[in-house]
Structure 1
């Protein structure tokens, strides 16, 4: 799992560059032809990681119900995100990865509920889910690279 965590750390560092490199207005802007914005994509990958790793393992997720509902699969930006929300997302971007590493090292992931993703991936284990999460984060990074061209 060392390589999987290394990829996750790298993904999150790239996402942080977006948070540090764009204004609140730019993070919230939904360019014409797009259904979401930069900040939604980042909130979404945070919430998705929690679902893929914790929920599928039968453990409670480490984000609020409000955040989960705002960024879960099928959601879309309903209003502009405040600077306070951006600051919270910045904290969660790395703190939740560290929590996952600690929980993994402590052996907390004992069970896994197999899951078929909307894109057709069959997740049969925590390892599958962690690797799919990295793939998913890469997809959203690609969406964000497209969005930034129109800011």
Structure 2
């Protein structure tokens, strides 16, 4: 698990760098030929991690239902994300790491809702969920690397 956590922390630092290297307008821009923007991908990976780890284990997690609905799979940006929400997403990127790892180490994730994700990952345990999350975050980082060329 230590390697999974280290990978996740590294991924989140890379995502955090987008707030440092791009303006709010650039984060919000949906380039021609794309359905999403940089900030949507950031919100989406936050929401997905909470769904995979917490909701998959029958816990509510640490994000609001409003964020969950706005950034879950199948959504796309429908409005300009203001600075206040961008700041919230920036904070959530790193602030969720410690409590999630602590919850894992406390052993709260005893029961996992076994299922197969839309991308074909079969999840039967919390470890599977962490592995899937890291894959998912890497996949969306790839999308962001493509988008950044056009903002």
Q: TM-score, normalised by structure 2?
A: 0.98
> In the alignment, which residue of structure 1 is the partner of 2:76?
76
- 1:80-124 CA distances to partner (integer Å, 9 max, x unpaired)? 101111111111001111110111111111110111011111111
Offset, 1:61? 2.0
Q: CA RMSD in A?
A: 0.6
Distance 2:29 2:45 in 1: 18
> In the alignment, which residue of structure 2 is the partner of 1:41?
41
Look up the SS of the partner of 1:149 in the other structure.
helix
Q: TM-score, normalised by structure 1?
A: 0.98
> In the alignment, which residue of structure 2 is the partner of 1:19?
19
> In the alignment, which residue of structure 2 is the partner of 1:93?
93
> In the alignment, which residue of structure 2 is the partner of 1:129?
129
Greater than 6 Å deviation, 4+ residue runs: none
Distance 2:117 2:54 in 1: 15
> In the alignment, which residue of structure 2 is the partner of 1:119?
119
- Runs of 5+ consecutive residues of structure 2 not aligned to the other structure: none
- Runs of 5+ consecutive residues of structure 1 not aligned to the other structure: none
Distance 2:64 2:123 in 1: 25
Aligned length: 151
> In the alignment, which residue of structure 2 is the partner of 1:51?
51
